[in-house]
């Protein structure tokens, strides 16, 4: 029986974060791969060759058209995944459950409600060709899932998933090799010997970690980042292509280019204007300017305060 899988994602792009939508969390990589990439791999692992990613925007008709076209071409079942959660669903068991039922539509629920994952039969798709029909509450079977789920509704949830993965509380497989127990560092990352890496943590491909940097508290640094001298990351995730200035201390935060979200304070700050972080590949990276205290790596706090003003 031929099956197709349609994944509905913000922007419909496997590699980009949707910066204006406020829904960055599903698009951010989690320890090397985005949730979208992980879903695609899982679906392909089922032997499903027909996989498509559509835009979440309801104005975009692609997802319905794609499903209808597949159904017309003889695809018997479509697995529809609205990307918004990471859920370790046993997909073969879902397919078996659906096949044993009498409904043409099976929806996956956890204890909080629907997870946005459905399995639809060809007949069901061809009967409901309009977007409104697809969203309506069709007579469907309910598949209750009791396993590991994180709804990626916020940066707090994103950090929860990162920490669970690093602590081995979910099934996410990390990329990179373990240089010491529970420390994953990609082979192409450059980590200075003086950096303090406290397990568990993750450093992605092409990332540079400079002298005196400290990573702790399940911190993660994704691909192509640069963490400058003496900066500490504590329960913090750095998103791809981000430069972080020297001598800073981040806790319970997610930094994406110049945007910092401080999870403990529920505050978002633009670090670009202060020159404390930058998107790598932009000129701002070379114009960073930390306060003098921040440059005092290795010095005591008072030593770092220099008197430069002259009084007449």
**Which residues contact other proteins (rule: CB under 8 A)?**
232, 234, 247-251, 253, 260, 262, 265, 267, 269-271, 273-276, 289-294, 301-302, 304-305, 307, 309, 311
User: Looking at beta carbons only, is 75 or 269 nearer to other proteins?
Assistant: 269
User: Looking at beta carbons only, is 144 or 307 nearer to other proteins?
Assistant: 307
Distance CA 267, CA 261 (A): 6
User: Quick one: CA torsion of 150, 88, 206, 25, rounded to 10 degrees?
Assistant: -30
Task: Tell me the closest approach of the beta carbon of residue 210 to other proteins, in angstroms.
Answer: 17
Comparing CA positions, the residue from 111, 107, 137 lying closest to residue 120 is 107
Task: Tell me the closest approach of the beta carbon of residue 270 to other proteins, in angstroms.
Answer: 7
Q: Report CA-CA distances (Å) from 175 to 25, 143, 234, 242.
A: 19, 31, 21, 19
User: Looking at beta carbons only, is 33 or 159 nearer to other proteins?
Assistant: 159
Task: Tell me the closest approach of the beta carbon of residue 94 to other proteins, in angstroms.
Answer: 43
User: Looking at beta carbons only, is 104 or 231 nearer to other proteins?
Assistant: 231
Comparing CA positions, the residue from 61, 35, 29, 36 lying closest to residue 51 is 36
Distance CA 81, CA 74 (A): 20
Task: Tell me the closest approach of the beta carbon of residue 194 to other proteins, in angstroms.
Answer: 16
User: Looking at beta carbons only, is 187 or 303 nearer to other proteins?
Assistant: 303
User: Looking at beta carbons only, is 169 or 292 nearer to other proteins?
Assistant: 292
Task: Tell me the closest approach of the beta carbon of residue 296 to other proteins, in angstroms.
Answer: 9
Task: Tell me the closest approach of the beta carbon of residue 274 to other proteins, in angstroms.
Answer: 5
Task: Tell me the closest approach of the beta carbon of residue 139 to other proteins, in angstroms.
Answer: 49
User: Looking at beta carbons only, is 96 or 289 nearer to other proteins?
Assistant: 289
User: Looking at beta carbons only, is 137 or 307 nearer to other proteins?
Assistant: 307
Task: Tell me the closest approach of the beta carbon of residue 138 to other proteins, in angstroms.
Answer: 45
């Amino acid at each position: 029986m031929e099956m197709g899988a349609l994944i509905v994602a913000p922007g419909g792009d496997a590699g980009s974060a949707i910066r204006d939508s406020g829904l960055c969390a599903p698009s951010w990589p989690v320890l090397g791969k985005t949730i979208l990439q992980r879903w695609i791999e899982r679906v392909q692992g089922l032997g499903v060759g027909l996989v498509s990613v559509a835009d979440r925007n309801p104005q975009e008709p692609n997802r319905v058209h794609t499903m209808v076209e597949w159904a017309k071409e003889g695809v018997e079942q479509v697995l529809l995944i609205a990307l918004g959660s990471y859920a370790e669903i046993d997909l073969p068991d879902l397919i078996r459950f659906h096949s044993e039922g009498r409904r043409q539509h099976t929806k996956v629920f956890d204890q909080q409600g629907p997870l946005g994952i459905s399995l639809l039969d060809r007949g069901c798709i061809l009967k409901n060709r309009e977007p409104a029909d697809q969203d309506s509450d069709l007579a469907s079977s309910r598949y209750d899932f009791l396993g590991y789920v994180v709804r990626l509704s916020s940066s707090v949830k994103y950090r929860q998933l990162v920490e669970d993965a690093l602590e081995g509380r979910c099934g996410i497989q990390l990329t990179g090799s373990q240089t010491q127990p529970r420390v994953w560092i990609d082979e192409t990352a450059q980590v200075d010997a003086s950096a303090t890496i406290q397990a568990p943590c993750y450093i992605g491909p092409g990332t540079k970690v400079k002298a005196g940097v400290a990573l702790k508290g399940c911190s993660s640094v994704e691909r192509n980042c640069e963490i400058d001298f003496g900066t500490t990351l504590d329960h913090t995730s750095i998103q791809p292509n981000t430069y972080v200035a020297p001598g800073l201390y981040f806790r319970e935060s997610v930094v994406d280019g110049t945007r910092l979200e401080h999870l403990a304070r529920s505050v978002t700050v633009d670090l670009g204007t202060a020159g404390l972080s930058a998107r790598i590949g932009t000129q701002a990276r070379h114009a960073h300017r930390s306060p003098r205290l921040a440059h005092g790596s290795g010095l005591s706090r008072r030593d770092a305060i220099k008197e430069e003003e002259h009084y007449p």
